Amino acid sequence: MTTIADNITAVAARIAAAAQAAGRDSAAIGLLAVSKTKPAAAVREAYAAGLRDFGENYLQEALGKQAELTDLPLCWHFIGPIQSNKTRAIAEHFDWVHSVDRLKIAQRLSEQRPANLPPLNICIQVNVSGEASKSGCTPADLPALATAIADLPNLRLRGLMAIPEPTEDRAAQDAAFAAVRTLQDSLNLPLDTLSMGMSHDLESAIAQGATWVRIGTALFGARDYGQA
Ligand SMILES: *Cc1c(COP(=O)(O)O)cnc(C)c1O
């Protein structure tokens, strides 16, 4: 049976190979371990094998896990859809939010970010697959949203996040990720982050400039939502 440590070694090798193929420094690509539906013990195992950044989609589940792991210096990333009534807890308990797609949510996160914490790192989720995905702002709405978020005092806008529609066609996958990078470049803002690429498409995302790949299945195995 493969362990989480074995899986981390394998994913790190995929990242290194993809970076080399793209002529990029693999140190510029962060591995964000997506631990949704997995127990705190799995996070602890991944931490022991060297990972520090963990992504969660469901607030209550994340808060429970965080409470079990307060002895570890972890960096927590919220990557799921955000309802207004969840913003206070997210502002209080996370270091990054990758899934901001409207101004109202960003304003609440800024207002509710505790004064003793550094600015909350923000990625705007953008929908580059049209109707195939419900989450994310439209490319047309992105410039105004990014400018407004960049002005909020307790947030630090870092870049864009996207989940393009999965496809077996590598050229189409590359084009979708390239579109995210092109959108980022078109914003005249000092952004340094492209959160894109998951277990099945991290090579394509890295080829197009990803700086965070968000990896769940390839690290922790398949998720069983029936048990969650
Ligand atoms: C679940 C999830 C991931 C991880 O997906 P895998 O295919 O398991 O690697 C990445 N990003 C987001 C936003 C997710 O919800």
Distance from residue 117's CA to the centre of ligand 1 (Å): 27
Q: What is the per-residue burial (b if ≥16 Cβ within 10 Å, else e) of 134-170?
A: eebbebebbeebbeebbebebbebbbbbbbbeeeeee
Domains, the chain, with CATH or none: 4-221 (3.20.20.10)
Range of weakest confidence among 24-38, 55-69, 86-100, 129-143: 129-143
Q: Which residue from 79, 74, 11 is spatially nearest to 48, judged by alpha carbons? A: 74
Percent over 90 (pLDDT), the chain:
93
**Which pLDDT tens digit goes with each residue over 10-30?**
999 999 999 999 999 999 999
**Which pLDDT tens digit goes with each residue over 188-218?**
999 999 999 999 999 999 999 999 999 999 9
Contact 92, 110 (CB under 8 A): no
**Average pLDDT estimate for 71-77:** 98
pLDDT of 134: 76
What count of Cα atoms within 13 Å lies in the side-chain half-sphere of residue 109? 33
Q: Which ligand 1 atom minimizes the distance to the CA of 223?
A: 8
| Ligand 1 pocket, mutate which of 7, 82, 198 (most atoms under 8 A from CB) | 198
| Residues with C-beta less than 6 Å from any ligand 1 atom | 34, 36, 57, 79, 163, 198-200, 214-218
Distance from residue 200's CA to the centre of ligand 1 (Å): 10
Distance from residue 116's CA to the centre of ligand 1 (Å): 30
Taking the model in full, what pTM does it have?
A: 0.96
pLDDT class of 228 with cuts at 50, 70, 90: very low
Distance from residue 36's CA to the centre of ligand 1 (Å): 9
pLDDT of 115: 97
Ligand 1 atom 6 nearest Cα: 216
**Average pLDDT estimate for 47-68:** 98
pLDDT mean across residues, the chain: 96
Q: CA 212, CA 32: separation in Å to the nearest integer? A: 6
pLDDT class of 226 with cuts at 50, 70, 90: low
| Ligand 1 pocket, mutate which of 4, 14, 34, 97 (most atoms under 8 A from CB) | 34
**Average pLDDT estimate for 24-43:** 98
pLDDT of 129: 87
